[in-house]
């Protein structure tokens, strides 16, 4: 252990003493201190902006600045030597202000409207350097007269955390030419990333991100009225806008190195779905072969959980059965399942998929891969979706299922080859391996449209997970067995719900025996006992006594 450094310990102590004696004081004195600090901050910040903007202009135009100073000084010197009666300062000062007025104007502008000033000056700088940058990034073509013609920059706009360049192709170029030049342009302008959006034929918006870091945020209690599976709030995007995840109709793969924040993504989904779970619109299933450490924190949200490989296979088999039954019921009627109470969206959450697909017994692994692949190919439209978390995106950890996920969340990854494994051709647009280890919960989200979005998922502390899980616990009927056929569904759900209200631990075991998991590998479950036949009443033989 390193020796403790006394001055390091003293610094925070001195700081907290100062805070306690000033802004931390109770009552009006504390309030006065806080107002004073705020005013000082604002004044100092504005003074700095003024100095920087006007000083910057003077550095760029030294001749004008020196001329102004020299004229003012000369005028004042002449008046002084001539012993001019009256005011000798106003005239020279006016001359100085007149010479420096463009710089002073910029300073006042920066101090009064700093954001507008930065945006306008930045846009002008980009426009000035565009021709040269575009030509060196491959956007120049030779005109008939031999001169180089570059793609036209139509406008420079600003969004939160991004600069948007609207670029128009020049004759001889296609949109593909602009797409190919985008990485070089982003690098030339020192952007942290980029995105391209086609506006109309021949016109493209090139979005250059000016920030790589998104502020962390702790999740709050979910909105009880937000019963949705199509836009589950999970975090914030780069521009600070709320980010919502589509759960219905999509299988989601969450990949991230150890400590990258997979838990945040998992609980953002499970916690965001909590009101829908409580309303019976979503039924949550959990597989956590790390002894249930993750899922057990929010256990009441889950209908069924599996903490062993054999149970996990049973859960997969049950869900496959559900999707088979739904397929029969939906055929010719609907192409996408519409969840509702009594006929919910089944969401299977798997924490650390590799534990099941790579580190289990060979037989279990094969069966799990077979079942999961079937669910991933068939379940999407039938209201059975999978959310899998995994550390290692390699083939051995995911089996053949990697490309069956329709939505991917790439948290921090260890190398560019891992990013490529997860996101394929989108890797240059979503360099997940460059996410800082201190930015846990930051990830590139790639939905079905294939456009990566940088998102910081909300952080879910354990206490919040427990509170939400208790508040929005799954309805009793969701911990009941899934009926095998849709015909007697309603009565089976109701019956199971009634039974579960009164169950104790033994009864739950008995109930589990009746779930459709008979074909699970390992020891065969007991056959349910046939109901006992009512016994015939014992006959009493009376001897007839003949008269």
Ligand X SMILES: Nc1ncnc2c1ncn2[C@@H]1O[C@H](COP(=O)(O)OP(=O)(O)OP(=O)(O)O)[C@@H](O)[C@H]1O
* Residues of each annotated binding site: 256-263
263 binds ligand X (CB under 6 A): yes
Site string for ligand X, 332-371 (x = CB under 6 A): ----------------------------------------
Q: Say how far apart CA 396 and CA 419 lie, in whole Å.
A: 16
* CA nearest to 286, candidates 340, 353, 226, 234: 353
Nearest distance from C-beta of residue 298 to ligand X, angstroms: 13
Q: Which helix (H) or strand (E) holds 389?
A: strand 384-390
- When the beta carbons of 151 and 391 are compared against ligand X, the nearer one is 391
238 binds ligand X (CB under 6 A): no
Nearest distance from C-beta of residue 469 to ligand X, angstroms: 17
Question: What are the helix (H) ranges across 148-224?
Answer: 175-188
- When the beta carbons of 220 and 259 are compared against ligand X, the nearer one is 259
Nearest distance from C-beta of residue 235 to ligand X, angstroms: 7
298 binds ligand X (CB under 6 A): no
- When the beta carbons of 216 and 271 are compared against ligand X, the nearer one is 216
Nearest distance from C-beta of residue 391 to ligand X, angstroms: 5
236 binds ligand X (CB under 6 A): no
92 binds ligand X (CB under 6 A): no
Among 236, 238, 251, 262, binds ligand X (CB under 6 A): 262
- When the beta carbons of 219 and 372 are compared against ligand X, the nearer one is 219
β-pairing verdict for 302-306 and 282-288: parallel
* CA nearest to 237, candidates 86, 389, 506, 442: 442
472 binds ligand X (CB under 6 A): no
Sheet strands side by side (includes 242-245): 242-245, 232-237, 452-457, 442-446, 407-410, 252-255, 384-390, 345-351, 282-288, 302-306
Contacts of 443 (CB under 8 A, 6+ apart): 254, 256, 260, 261, 265, 409, 410, 411, 412, 432, 435, 454, 455, 456, 457
459 binds ligand X (CB under 6 A): yes
Nearest distance from C-beta of residue 430 to ligand X, angstroms: 18
Among 2, 90, 258, 542, binds ligand X (CB under 6 A): 258
Q: Which stretch binds ligand X (CB under 6 A): 174-182, 255-263, 306-314, 376-384?
A: 255-263
Q: Which stretch binds ligand X (CB under 6 A): 85-93, 252-260, 494-502, 521-529?
A: 252-260
Q: Using alpha carbons only, how large is the chain's radius of gyration in Å? A: 34
- When the beta carbons of 163 and 413 are compared against ligand X, the nearer one is 413
Among 130, 457, 472, 493, binds ligand X (CB under 6 A): 457
**Tokens representing residue 24 in the block:** 């931390």
Contacts of 68 (CB under 8 A, 6+ apart): 95, 96, 98, 99, 100
HEC-encoded secondary structure of 210-222: CCCCCCCCECCCC
- When the beta carbons of 343 and 355 are compared against ligand X, the nearer one is 355
393 binds ligand X (CB under 6 A): no
Among 259, 424, 450, 528, binds ligand X (CB under 6 A): 259
Q: Within 13 Å and on the Cβ side, how many CA atoms surround 229? A: 28
The helix/strand/coil state of 147 is coil
286 binds ligand X (CB under 6 A): no
Q: Say how far apart CA 220 and CA 215 lie, in whole Å.
A: 15
Instruction: Please report, as ranges, the residues that interact with ligand X according to CB under 6 A.
Output: 216, 256, 258-264, 391, 440-441, 457, 459
């Amino acid at each position: 252990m390193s020796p403790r450094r006394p001055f390091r310990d003293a610094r925070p102590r001195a700081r907290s003493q100062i805070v306690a004696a000033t802004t931390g004081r109770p009552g009006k004195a504390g309030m006065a201190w806080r107002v004073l600090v705020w005013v000082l901050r604002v004044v100092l910040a504005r003074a700095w902006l003024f100095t920087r903007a006007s000083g910057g202009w003077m550095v760029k135009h030294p001749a004008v600045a020196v001329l102004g100073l020299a004229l003012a000084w000369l005028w004042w010197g002449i008046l002084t030597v001539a012993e001019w009666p009256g005011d000798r300062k106003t005239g020279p000062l006016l001359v100085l202000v007149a010479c420096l007025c463009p710089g002073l104007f910029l300073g006042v502008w920066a101090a009064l409207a700093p954001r507008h000033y930065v945006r306008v000056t930045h846009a002008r700088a980009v426009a000035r350097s565009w021709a040269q940058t575009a030509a060196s990034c491959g956007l120049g073509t030779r005109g008939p007269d031999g001169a180089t013609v570059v793609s036209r920059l139509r406008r420079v706009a600003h969004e939160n955390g991004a600069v948007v360049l609207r670029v128009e192709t020049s004759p001889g170029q296609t949109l593909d030419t602009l797409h190919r030049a985008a990485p070089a342009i982003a690098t030339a302008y020192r952007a942290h990333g980029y995105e391209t959006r086609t506006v109309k034929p021949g016109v493209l918006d090139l979005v250059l991100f000016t920030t790589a870091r998104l502020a962390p945020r702790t999740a709050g209690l979910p909105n009880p009225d937000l019963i949705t599976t199509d836009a589950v709030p999970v975090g914030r995007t780069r521009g600070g806008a709320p980010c919502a995840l589509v759960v219905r109709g999509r299988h989601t793969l969450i990949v991230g190195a150890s400590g990258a924040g997979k838990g945040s993504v998992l609980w953002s989904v499970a916690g965001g779905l909590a009101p829908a779970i409580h309303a019976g619109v979503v039924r949550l299933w959990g597989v956590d072969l790390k002894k249930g450490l993750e899922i057990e924190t929010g256990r009441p949200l889950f209908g069924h959980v599996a903490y062993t490989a054999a149970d996990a296979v049973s859960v997969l088999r049950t869900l496959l059965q559900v999707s088979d039954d739904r397929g029969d019921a939906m055929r010719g009627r609907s192409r996408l399942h519409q969840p509702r109470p009594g006929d919910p969206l089944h969401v299977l959450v798997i924490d650390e998929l590799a534990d099941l697909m790579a580190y289990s017994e060979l037989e279990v692994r094969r069966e799990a891969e077979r079942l999961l692949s079937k669910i991933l190919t068939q379940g999407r439209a039938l209201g059975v979706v999978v959310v899998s978390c995994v550390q290692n995106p390699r083939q051995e950890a995911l089996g053949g299922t990697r490309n069956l996920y329709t939505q991917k969340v790439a948290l921090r990854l260890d190398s560019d080859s891992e990013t490529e494994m997860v996101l394929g051709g989108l890797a240059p647009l979503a360099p997940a391996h460059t996410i800082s280890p201190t930015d846990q919960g930051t990830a590139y989200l790639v939905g079905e449209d294939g456009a990566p979005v940088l998102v910081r998922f909300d952080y879910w502390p354990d206490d919040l997970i427990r509170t939400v899980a208790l508040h929005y616990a799954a309805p009793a009927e969701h911990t009941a067995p899934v009926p095998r056929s849709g015909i007697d569904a309603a009565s089976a759900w109701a019956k199971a719900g009634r039974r579960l209200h009164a169950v104790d631990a033994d009864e739950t075991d008995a109930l589990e025996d009746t779930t459709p998991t008979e074909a699970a590998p390992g020891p065969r479950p007991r056959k349910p006992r046939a109901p006992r036949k009512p016994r015939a009443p014992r006959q009493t033989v009376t001897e007839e006594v003949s008269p």
